[in-house]
Amino acid sequence: MELSRRTFLGGAAAAAGTLVMPQIARANAAANAYFSGYQEDTGFRYRRTNFKRIDPVWHRQMVKYFSPEPPGTVVVDTNNHFLYWVWENNTALRYGVGVGREGFQWFGRARIDRKALWPRWVPPPEMLQRQPDLPRLVEGGAANNPLGPRAMYLYRDGTDLGYRLHGTLEPWSIGHDVSSGCIRMFPEDIIDLYQRCPKGTAVLVLEHLGADSSAG
């Protein structure tokens, strides 16, 4: 029987699909393993983090921490992927975070001048230039909103720096250089930190050692 080109190409495509589908299924299963059901929160819900899949080093915990910063200050150690909420008696509440990837790292002082529950996400123009297929706006509470349940906006001298402390849809990214400069946290952790930080909270982002960083 003569095998037509169309039949051959169709068979090749089907074979390729047969190979790709299991890979996609495995990738989805691996991602889903990082979640454990849903959590209701102020009229919306987020996917709970399965902390059994998370290295304990990234779990929220009280630690010894020696800093000249006053209690209530937020200190981000970008090199080691930790955020510290400075407490008393040389202690701090430590959170694992994801920070800016190469080319998007920054350091310096800032202040939380705005806070939002279930914030809308509007990609900045520079991000849209890099990724023109991104949506122009994602409403707060939407399943694809990368900010998650909370966001705190960083300002310096009254100017929005464009960086936020916010949640994430990708819990496996905590502990890595992954963002466009924002500090991402587990949804549970940004909710916890949000309650501890009033407007006006001082933030210090430490320099990423060995990086080509720039202030601002």
Q: 6 pLDDT exceeds 60?
A: no
For residues 67 and 108, state if they share a domain. Answer: yes
For residues 27 and 62, state if they share a domain. Answer: no
Cα–Cα distance list, 8 to 20, 21, 91, 112 (Å): 18, 20, 67, 61
How confident is the model over 175-180, as a mean pLDDT?
96
For residues 12 and 74, state if they share a domain. Answer: no
CATH number for position 124: 2.40.440.10
Q: What is the pLDDT of residues 130-153, one digit of tens each?
A: 999 999 999 999 999 999 999 999
Q: Which domain holds residue 144?
A: 52-215
How confident is the model over 95-103, as a mean pLDDT?
95
For residues 98 and 186, state if they share a domain. Answer: yes
Q: Is residue 59 part of a domain?
A: yes
Number of domains forming the structure of the chain: 2
- Per residue, the 3-state secondary structure of the chain, as one string, reads CCCCHHHHHHHHHHHHHHHHHHHHHHHHHHHHCCEEEEEEECCEEEEEECHHHCCHHHCCEEEECCCCCCCCCEEEECCCCEEEEECCCCEEEEEECEEECCCCCEEEEEEEEEEEECCCECCCHHHHHHCCCCCCCECCCCCCCCCCCEEEEEEECCEEEEEEEECCCCHHHCCCEEECCCEECCHHHHHHHHHHCCCCCEEEEECCCCCCCEEC
Q: 216 pLDDT exceeds 50?
A: no
Q: Is residue 148 part of a domain?
A: yes
Q: What is the pLDDT of residues 155-171, one digit of tens each?
A: 999 999 999 999 999 99
Q: Is residue 144 part of a domain?
A: yes
